[in-house]
Every structure is written in C-alpha cells, then in structure tokens.
Amino acid sequence: MLRPASAREAVGIGGARLRWRATTQAYRPEGRPLRRALITGITGQDGSYLAELLLGKGYEVHGIVRRSSSFNRHHIDHLHERAETAERLHLHYGDLGDGVGLTNLVRSITPHEVYNLAAQSHVAVSFEIPDYTGDVTGLGAIRLLEALRAAGTDARYYQASSSEMYGNTPPPQDETTIFHPRSPYAAAKVYAHHCSVNYREAYGMFTCNGILFNHESPRRGENFVTRKITRAVARIKAGVQSELVLGNLDARRDWGYAPEYVEAMWRMLQHDDPGDYVVATGDSYSVRDFCELAFAHAGLDWSDHVKTDVRYERPSEVPDLIGDPSKAARVLGWEPSVRTPALAAIMVDSDIQKVDEELHGRSSGRA
Ligand code: NAP
Ligand code: G4F
C-alpha cells in the first residue's frame, strides 16, 4: 500500500527522510527475494546493532521510532550516511502504546521477520513508573502480536525476553528455570514472554523468545551500571570527574557483548522451529569486579574513586544471574567470544575516546 506523497515524505530524520514502502517493492530488480525485517527499538543499543547486521545481510530494514522533541538517532545516523544501507533502511513513526498504528505499519510493510526490542528497559526506573512500564514493556508485545495476527501475516516474531525474569531464582539459569520477577520491568517481561509462547501454541505463529542476559557495548545507555562505570573511568582519567557513586556493588551479572547477542536473535528466526533460548556467556562478575576491571584498564585503582549511596539501590534486587547458553550453542551454533574483562576494556577505550572528543573537539571512528 502506498501512502500519499505528503505522508511519505513528511519528516526529515538526521538528514534522511521517513520513507513508506510499497509492498510491490518487496523484490529486488534481479528477482531475488528481499527479506524485510521490522525492528521496534531500532534507536536503542540492540536495535542499532541488529539493523547493521540485517542490512549487512541484504535485508530491507524498517524501524519504528518514537516522536521526540529532540532527535535521539545517533546510533543509526551512520546507516543513513552510507548509500548502500540508506536505501534499504526505512524509519516509521510509531509507539508500542499505539496498537492501531502498529497494525497499520505491519499491514503496509508486510515484514518477514519482526524483532520486538522496544521497551522501557531500565529496571530501577520501572519502580518509579510501573504503570507505564507494564503498558509498554508488557502490553506492547501483545499489541504487536495482535497486529501480526490481524494482518494475517506469517512473519516470524522475536521477543526480547530478559534474564531479569529469573529474579530471585538462584543460578545457573536456563530455559527450564522458573521465573521469579523482582521488579515491574521483570514482571512485564514475564507477561510478554508468556504471550509470545501463547501465540505460538494458540495460533501456530512462529514466535521466539530470546532470554538475553545483560549485554553491553559502547552504545549502552549511560545510566546502566557498566556504562556509568566506564564513562566515569574516562572522565576521571581526563581529570573532569573525581568520584563515582553507585548502589549495590555485590550484585552479580553475566555480562556479554551486544553485537554478538543480536546475531543470536537473528539465528533464532532462521531455525526451522520456533523456540526459546538463553543467550549468555556463562560467567558472572559482581559490580565491584566490573569496577576493578574498568578502572584497572585505565591504570586507576577503583577503590580510590568509587563510593556508594542507598539512593541507587532498588526496593528489591536481583542478586545473581549466570546464564547457561548450552541450548543456543547446540541448536543455533551460537557462542560468545567477548568475555566480561574484554568487554570492560572495549567500553573504557571507547569512552576515553569520546571524552577526548568532547574535551578537544577531535572527531574519530564510530563505536
Ligand atoms: P535500550 O537501549 O533501552 O533501547 C530501548 C528501545 O526501545 C529504544 O529504541 C527506545 O526508543 C524504544 N522504546 C522505548 N519505549 C518505546 C515505546 N513506547 N514505543 C516504541 N519504542 C520505544 O534497550 P536495549 O539494551 O537495546 O535492549 C533491547 C531490548 O532487549 C529491550 O526490550 C530490553 O528490555 C531487552 N533486554 C535488554 C538486555 C540488555 O542487557 N541490554 C537484556 C535482556 C533484555 P527511544 O530511543 O525513543 O527511547
Ligand atoms: O546495569 P543495570 O541497571 O542492569 P539490570 O538491572 O541488570 O538490567 C539490565 O539487564 C537486564 C537483563 O538482565 C535487562 F533486561 C534490562 O533491560 C537492563 O538492560 O544494573 C545492574 C546491576 C543491578 O544489580 C544494580 O542494582 O548493577 C547494580 N547497580 C549498582 N549501582 C547499579 C548501580 N545499576 C545502575 N543502573 N546504576 C547504579 O548506580
């Protein structure tokens, strides 16, 4: 379905334009089928890496972006700057709170694969805005599943499930471990996870849940703990910050590298059968350990700079997450290569470069 030209070309985004595609453009000129993917959360950490991965594989990628007063598309701007990716990347305004909008988008895009990565994704924030988090992170998934069902499409669906769903259940956690959510965010993710399973069982839809353990990168939001630490390391090294205030240093996480994790998402949707998969490294480090690794990489002693304050603690904490990714290795052939110490080094190096650019106006490569 083509939209009126005024609607198709209404708004520029970071020098590019919102483009609406006709279903007649589903095939490349040479007749080779072009796979279309729809990504919610394309402006986020995972969405941007997934868009890169899929464009690199020749997909036509459609991303849903929220309207905001200021542009926040810095993770995907570079994809618009390269001609070979720009022509296959299309952004559409939408919101997981708007079911009608999602249905219209699914009908007009007719995607082969849908990756639902959008969420209010911050656990601590979910205690402040539980109703909103439930609406977007939980109900948002069923709105999208319903949009797919209403469109009568056989698109494959990926749901971004989370290791937070295990909450208080002791490690190691795998696909059979029971959920014990410890935050409004985690409870919303459990709801979305079960909806995805239910639509598979009830309607025969190809739905997969990726139960991803924490994964980080230079594109991680600045208020998640790893990035908060690596950014502080860079600023302390540069002499523009002296201390870092954190909450619970004892919490343990299984931290992997985001670009590797989006590859697992894609592999799930290429398999013959839908299923649920844990994606993790199988290692665990405390927040204190991560501080030690990150500061040491910059030649600093973490204990000289890190302080704690209860204001960064949560009403209920998830103490220990260690994923068992053996099903993903066995069925999908997916294995991580970047472990937490190397991840900390990648993030510190990137933040040192960014702080240097901020302070001295130098421009360098993209993270
Ligand atoms: P992120 O960087 O916080 O990105 C979240 C994305 O969702 C952003 O693009 C955001 O758009 C979008 N979004 C938020 N509310 C929306 C709404 N109402 N409608 C449409 N889009 C909305 O998250 P991430 O780290 O990439 O994680 C991707 C997904 O995996 C999330 O669902 C997260 O909960 C889940 N997950 C993440 C991890 C992890 O360790 N990173 C682990 C397990 C599961 P704006 O840019 O406009 O804010
Ligand atoms: O970096 P975090 O905020 O990530 P958290 O809560 O584990 O959630 C992330 O991973 C989930 C997967 O398990 C995702 F589903 C979710 O969307 C998100 O991406 O906190 C990690 C740990 C927590 O135990 C927290 O209490 O670090 C602890 N922490 C200690 N001080 C802190 C701080 N966390 C933050 N954000 N800020 C602090 O100052």
Answer whether residue 14 shows pLDDT above 90.
no
CB-CB neighbours of 298 under 10 Å: 17
Q: What percent of the chain stands above pLDDT 90?
A: 87
pLDDT over 70 percentage in the chain = 89
Whether 284 and 268 have beta carbons less than 8 Å apart is answered as: no
Ligand with smallest separation from the Cα of 122: 2
State yes or no: pLDDT of 79 exceeds 80: yes
The alpha carbon of 310 and the centre of ligand 1 are apart by a number of angstroms equal to 26
Q: Which long-range contacts (CB under 8 A, 24 or more apart) does 224-229 make?
A: 224/122, 225/287, 225/290, 226/255, 226/290, 226/294, 226/343, 226/344, 226/347, 227/347, 227/351, 229/287, 229/290, 229/291, 229/294
Nearest atom in ligand 2 to 321's CA = 13
* pLDDT exceeds cutoff 50 at 13: no
pLDDT at 361: 86
Q: 259: CA distance to ligand 2 center in Å?
A: 19
User: Which residues neighbour 5 within 8 Å (Cβ) at sequence distance 6 or greater?
Assistant: none
Q: Which ligand is nearest to the CA of 68?
A: 1
Q: What are phi and psi of 307, to 5 degrees?
A: -125, 165
Q: Tell me if 96 CB under 6 Å of ligand 1.
A: yes
What is the pLDDT at residue 366?
59
pLDDT for 25: 37
Residue 30 in this model has a pLDDT that exceeds 80: no
* Residue 213 pLDDT level (bands cut at 50, 70, 90): very high
User: Ligand 2, atom 28: nearest CA belongs to which residue?
Assistant: 248
Are 366 and 239 within 8 A, CB to CB?
Answer: no
Q: Residues 81-99: what's their mean pLDDT?
A: 95
Q: Which residue, by CA, sits nearest to atom 24 of ligand 2?
A: 251
Q: In the predicted model, what is the mean pLDDT of residues 116-130?
A: 98
CA 146 to ligand 1 centroid distance, Å: 20
pLDDT at 364 over 60: no
Task: Give pLDDT, residue 205.
Answer: 98
Assigned token pair, 33: 């089928």
Q: Where are the beta strands (DSSP E) in the chain?
A: 12-13, 16-17, 36-40, 60-65, 89-93, 113-116, 156-162, 207-212, 215-216, 244-246, 252-253, 256-257, 276-279, 285-286, 306-308
Residue the block writes with tokens 């398999």: 271
CB 20 within 8 A of CB 108: yes
Tell me the average pLDDT of the chain.
91
What pLDDT is stored for residue 367 in this prediction?
Answer: 66
Average pLDDT over residues 123-139: 98
For residue 115, report the phi and psi dihedrals to the nearest 5 degrees: -115, 110
Q: Is the pLDDT of residue 6 over 60?
A: no
Q: Report which of 161, 120, 154, 11 is spatially closest to residue 71, judged by C-alpha positions.
A: 11
Q: Which atom of ligand 2 is nearest to the CA of 123?
A: 6
Query: Among all ligands shown, which has an atom nearest to the Cα of 316?
Result: 2
Nearest CA to ligand 2 atom 8: 123
Residue whose structure tokens are 């002791």: 170
Can you spell out the DSSP letters for 286-348? Answer: EHHHHHHHHHHHTT--GGGTEEE-GGGS-SS---B--B-THHIIIII-------HHHHHHHHH
Please provide the size of the chain in residues: 367
Residue 31 has pLDDT above 90, yes or no: no
Tokens matching residue 47: 């969405």
Q: pLDDT band for position 154 (50/70/90)? A: very high
State the pLDDT at residue 323.
98
| Residue bearing the bigger pLDDT, 157 or 80 | 157
**236-268 per-position pLDDT tens digit:** 999 999 999 999 999 999 999 999 999 999 999
CA dist 103 and 306 (Å) reads 48
Nearest CA to ligand 1 atom 29: 117
Q: Is 138 in the pocket of ligand 1 (CB under 6 A)?
A: no
**How does 210-226 read in b/e, with b if 16+ C-beta sit within 10 Å?**
bbbbbbbbbbbeeebbb
Give me the amino acid identity at 162. Answer: S
Which ligand gives the minimal distance to the CA of 98?
1
Asked if residue 162 has its Cβ within 6 Å of ligand 1, the reply is yes
**What pLDDT does 12 receive?**
29
Distance, in Å, from the CA atom of 249 to the CA atom of 63, rounded to the nearest integer, reads: 36
Active site members? 162, 164, 185
**Is the C-beta atom of 44 inside 6 A of ligand 1?**
yes
Cα 158 to middle of ligand 1, angstroms: 14
Mean pLDDT confidence for 273-278: 98
If one counts every other C-beta atom within 10 angstroms of the C-beta of residue 172, the result is 18
pLDDT per residue as tens digits for the range 300-326? 999 999 999 999 999 999 999 999 999
- For residue 199, the model assigns a pLDDT of 98
Tell me how far apart the alpha carbons of residues 30 and 151 are, in angstroms, rounded to a whole number: 28
Mean pLDDT over residues 82-92, rounded? Answer: 93
**Which residues fall within 8 angstroms of residue 286, CB to CB, at 6 or more apart?**
249, 250, 251, 252
Say yes or no: CB of residue 98 within 6 Å of ligand 2.
no
Q: How far is the CA of 118 from the centre of ligand 1 (A)?
A: 4
Residue with the smallest CA separation from ligand 2 atom 5 is 123
Confidence of residue 33 (pLDDT cuts 50, 70, 90): low
For residue 130, the surrounding DSSP H or E stretch is helix 130-133
Model confidence at 84, pLDDT cuts 50, 70, 90, reads: confident
> What kind and span of H or E run contains 51?
helix 45-56
Nearest to 220 by CA among 48, 11, 33, 24: 48
Q: What is the DSSP string of 236-255?
A: HHHTS---EEES-SS-EE--
